[in-house]
Amino acid sequence: MLRFRSYFRTVRSVCSFRFLSSQSNVERSRYPGSRSRFSCVIDECRPPAIHPDEGVSVFRILSSEGRVIDSNQDPNIPDEKLLNMYETMVVLNVADNILYESQRQGRISFYMTAYGEEATVIGSTAAIDANDLIYGQYREAGALLFRGYTLSEMMNQCYGNHLDSAKGRQMPIHYGAHHLNFQTISSPLATQMPQAPGAAYAFKRERSGQCVMCYFGDGAASEGDAHAAFNFAATLDCPVIFFCRNNGYAISTPTSEQYRGDGIVSRGPGYGIESVRVDGNDLLAVYSVTRMARKICVKENRPFLIEAMTYRIGHHSTSDDSSAYRSSDDVKFWDKQDHPISRAYNYLVSKGIWSESRDTELRQTKKKLVMEAFREAEAQPKPPIEELFRDVYDNMPSHIETQLNEIRQHVAKYPNQYPTNFSK
């Protein structure tokens, strides 16, 4: 960890020294927007357009087989915490399988899996403090599970029953948990991004020692809100970590059609944001860079951008059929040859703290627990229709009360068309 941070500083210092030593007698601009040197050579005034094949390197600690490449880079996460991280990855994978199939059976309306991206969210969540605020996009259920979100809470939300904390008013997978410092998911893409630096700025003013984690995808980075978020965070010196899950696709649009530059990490310097690119399938590497980023955010009150390179093994959602726009061979490769759970499993076995028998037992136990929570949530009644009209105004205004009475009359007129608990 220290060597990684030291390398960052060394490269930056060497580059700065070489530039200043060779340009010390050159006249510099006095324009407010730039203090760089003047030049009579036009090519010196054109920043390079970096091709993705020649861009920023991808930091990794584990090989694709789960072997530590450089022991000095191993973050040496305590065994108990490491096992918790792995178990959370497994239970998320099990829950994804069951809930995806339940949607296919018509038991819930919608679902999105995190297949192949488990290490990005769980590795990064484990690296920040429990009181740090998280803004998710929609594939961050693992963050909630790691922080203690129960399987029952997860299932109640997906079924939208009367035990759902959102009272059935959100689509499935739009989780939120105030007690776990996790902002409720919002469907419109990238809306969480400009909100995150606002919350981080509040933490800065309060001197609370907290930071904000903001997850988003490579597709969301193409939204205008991403620009506003980066610029606000940089100019206001906000302690926020922008964590991009670059999984290769924005629904059906591949990254090759989204940008011509070097991914998302290359955008950080343009906003004055320190940035790093990491192997998102490497649990240890994700953990290490996120710890570094949080330290910078909190101690220096500065934003940090992390681009985690990964691959979306599942369909974008249950509304998508990815076989229409990508090869099944590519999906099989990432699923069988370079899966983040397999990498983490091999690492744990090499440390002597895990085994095949324990892994089998874990999966069986977690599947049983997920199925129990699933059945209990499915059996629960839906929230009363009145909940649609509450929690907007402190005191319900007359026009809303009129609408509530109208729907009560409608339900009373057609009782056989609605559940018996539909109206109080």
Say if CB 164 and CB 383 are below 8 A apart: yes
Rounded Cα gap, residues 1 and 119, in angstroms: 18
In the chain, the amino acid numbered 29 is S
Q: Which of 13, 16, 65, 101 is catalytic?
A: 101
Residue 165 in tokens: 């904390």
Q: Which of 165, 317, 350, 423 is catalytic?
A: 317
Say if CB 205 and CB 238 are below 8 A apart: no
Say if CB 177 and CB 144 are below 8 A apart: yes
Q: Which helix or strand (DSSP H or E) is residue 274 part of?
A: strand 274-279
Helix (H, G, I), strand (E, B) or coil at 421: coil
Active-site annotation holds for 187: yes
Active-site annotation holds for 288: no
Say if CB 307 and CB 259 are below 8 A apart: no
Say if CB 239 and CB 210 are below 8 A apart: yes
Q: Which of 36, 187, 208, 323 is catalytic?
A: 187
Q: Which residues contact 145 (CB under 8 A, 6 or more apart)?
A: 88, 91, 92, 95, 154
Say if CB 281 and CB 116 are below 8 A apart: yes
Say if CB 82 and CB 75 are below 8 A apart: no
Q: Which residues contact 142 (CB under 8 A, 6 or more apart)?
A: 88, 89, 92, 114, 118, 121, 122, 125
Say if CB 218 and CB 193 are below 8 A apart: no
Residue 321 backbone phi and psi in degrees, to 5: -125, 95
Active-site annotation holds for 64: no
Strands 249-250, 253-254: parallel, antiparallel or unpaired by DSSP?
antiparallel
Rounded Cα gap, residues 165 and 177, in angstroms: 8
Q: Which of 102, 274, 315, 316 is catalytic?
A: 316
Active-site annotation holds for 361: no
Residue 126 in tokens: 């484990």
Summary count for the chain: helices (H), strands (E): 13, 7
Q: Closest Cα to residue 183, out of 239, 135, 141, 140?
A: 135
Q: Closest Cα to residue 210, out of 262, 119, 134?
A: 134
Which residues carry out catalysis? 101, 187, 316-317
